[in-house]
Amino acid sequence: MVRKSLVYRLLMITLMCLVGICVCGSSDVRADETNWEVGLQSGWSYSDEDESFNQTAIIVAHRLPLKWRRWDTLDVGTRLTAMASVLEGGGDTGLLGTLGLELVIGLGDSPFEVRAGGGATLMSRYKYGDEDLGGAFQFTSYVGLEYRFLESFSGYARAQHMSNAGIYSENPAVNMIMMGLRYRF
């Protein structure tokens, strides 16, 4: 019960910080940006725990209307993200669905962006070989660097963490390195 309360408090603090950054501290909030993004990513686990994992995913993101701009160079945007993926490990394969929020941090006209986000993940299975992930509900978080090499295309690498934040008795983490391509329209 204490762990569930801690998870709830952390999620509420994160949400309040996001709203505070985007609304209260904003110097330039624009409601006209509603671009879509689609991407394909794949990666592998890097921890030395019981099982090795591979994941392949399709990501769809919608630019939220709130954008924060400071000093004419620092841009912080928000996205609503959805991800459908296949997770393989220990000879087993399962499907994952993730819904979450993402912050996109850019510096002026630089082709680089830092992206960080997280969300709730539902799994079709939570036992992979000898690895018991605890339950079908997990939290996924990530941070990564993206490089825009064309107007509409970019490539990225990110570190991703998935665990259940202690809401189940078993709580091993699945830590992955993901690489992908993204198209904006």
Query: What is the pLDDT, as a whole number, of residue 19?
Result: 55
Mean pLDDT by 10 residues, the chain (185 residues): 51 56 46 74 84 95 84 87 96 96 90 95 94 94 94 94 91 94 93
Query: What is the pLDDT, as a whole number, of residue 63?
Result: 92
Q: Which runs of consecutive H residues, i.e. helices, occur in the chain?
A: 2-19
- In the block, tokens 């394909």 appear at 40
Query: What is the pLDDT, as a whole number, of residue 10?
Result: 55
Query: What is the pLDDT, as a whole number, of residue 30?
Result: 40
CA-to-CA separations, 137 to 37, 180, 182, in angstroms, rounded = 26, 25, 27
Query: What is the pLDDT, as a whole number, of residue 33?
Result: 47
Q: Which domains does the chain have, with CATH numbers?
A: 2-184 (2.40.160.20)
Could you tell me which residues come within 8 angstroms of residue 111 by beta carbon, excluding any fewer than 6 positions away? 147, 148, 149, 154
